[in-house]
Structure 1
Amino acid sequence: MTTRTGSARYEGLGQEGRGHVSTQSGVLTDQFYGFNTRFGDEEGTNPEELIAAAHAGCFTMALSFALARAGFSEGTIDTEAAVKLEQDGEGGFTITRSDLTLIAKVPGIAEEQFQALAESAHLNCPVSKLLKAESALSATLA
Structure 2
Amino acid sequence: MITRTAKARYEGMGKAGKGWVSTQSGVLSEQRYGFGTRFENEPGTNPEELIAAAHASCFTMALSFALAARGITDGVLETTARVKLEQDGEGFRVSRSDLVLSAKVDGIADEEFRSLAEGAKANCPISKLLNAEMSLEVQVGD
**Same fold flag (TM > 0.5):** yes
Report the CA distance between 1:5 and its aligned residue: 0.2
Root-mean-square deviation (Å): 1.0
For residues 72-100 of structure 1, the C-alpha deviation after alignment (integer angstroms, 9 at most, x for no partner) is: 000000000000001101x1111000010
Report the CA distance between 1:108 and its aligned residue: 1.7
Question: What amino acid is the match of 1:45?
Answer: T
Partner-residue secondary structure (3-state), 2:10: strand
Verify: 1:132 aligned to 2:131, yes or no.
yes
Aligned to 1:112: 111
Aligned to 1:13: 13
Identity of aligned residues (%): 68
Partner-residue secondary structure (3-state), 1:122: helix
> Hey, which of these two has a bigger chunk of strand by percent?
1
Could you tell me the TM-score, scaled by structure 2's length?
Answer: 0.91
Taking the aligned partners of 2:36 and 2:87, their CA distance within structure 1 comes to 16
Aligned to 2:97: 98
Taking the aligned partners of 2:75 and 2:91, their CA distance within structure 1 comes to 42
Aligned to 1:56: 56
Report the CA distance between 1:132 and its aligned residue: 2.2
Verify: 1:27 aligned to 2:31, yes or no.
no
Unaligned runs of 5+ in 2: 133-142
Runs of 4+ in 1 over 2 A off after TM superposition: none
Taking the aligned partners of 1:92 and 1:131, their CA distance within structure 2 comes to 18
Report the number of matched residues: 132
Unaligned runs of 5+ in 1: 134-142
